[in-house]
Amino acid sequence: MTAAGATVRAEDGRLLFDVLAVGGALAGQWVPTGVSLTEVQAWPQAPPHWVHLPDLVVFEATNCDTTDCPPGWRRHSREFGFTDTSIPPAKAWLSHVRGLLSLATKSAA
């Protein structure tokens, strides 16, 4: 992830990294995001499914819960079909998260 442009930090069973939102209500903001350590154990053969975001990041439609999340965070269900092996898996994941953030309807500010 660091080589792909996102410095990762571990915290309470999650990997956290900041992503620059390029569209939507969060455009131009660095947004803290994360993924459960349990979901990346088989990466890249089995990519993660859930994206962890602060509660203040809102979507018009989402399937979310608070499993593996500290207070103030939710994880959002988003299918990630990593099939283009010409792109490093970490870059593909960051693009996936940027795409999700472009759908946000409310700023995290």
The DSSP string of 7-71 is --EEETTEEEEEEE--SGGGTT-EEEEEEEGGGGTTTTTS---EEEEETT-EESS--EE-TT--T
Confidence band, pLDDT 50/70/90 cuts, at residue 82? low
Mean pLDDT of 6-12: 90
Average pLDDT, the chain: 88
pLDDT digits (tens, 9 = 90+) for 48-75: 889 999 999 999 888 999 998 999 999 9
| Per-residue model confidence (pLDDT) at position 87 | 85
In whole angstroms, what is the distance from residue 70 CA to residue 32 CA? 13
Mean pLDDT of all residues in 87-100: 89
Confidence of residue 108 (pLDDT cuts 50, 70, 90): very low
CA 91 – CA 93 distance, rounded (Å): 5
Please report which confidence band the pLDDT of residue 4 belongs to, taking 50, 70 and 90 as the band edges: confident
Q: HSE on the CB side for 65, CA within 13 Å?
A: 6
Q: Which residue has the tokens 């079909």?
A: 81
- Measure the CA–CA gap between 107 and 3, rounded to whole angstroms: 28
Apex 102 CA angle, 96 and 90, nearest 5: 20
Q: Which two tokens stand for residue 34?
A: 């994360």
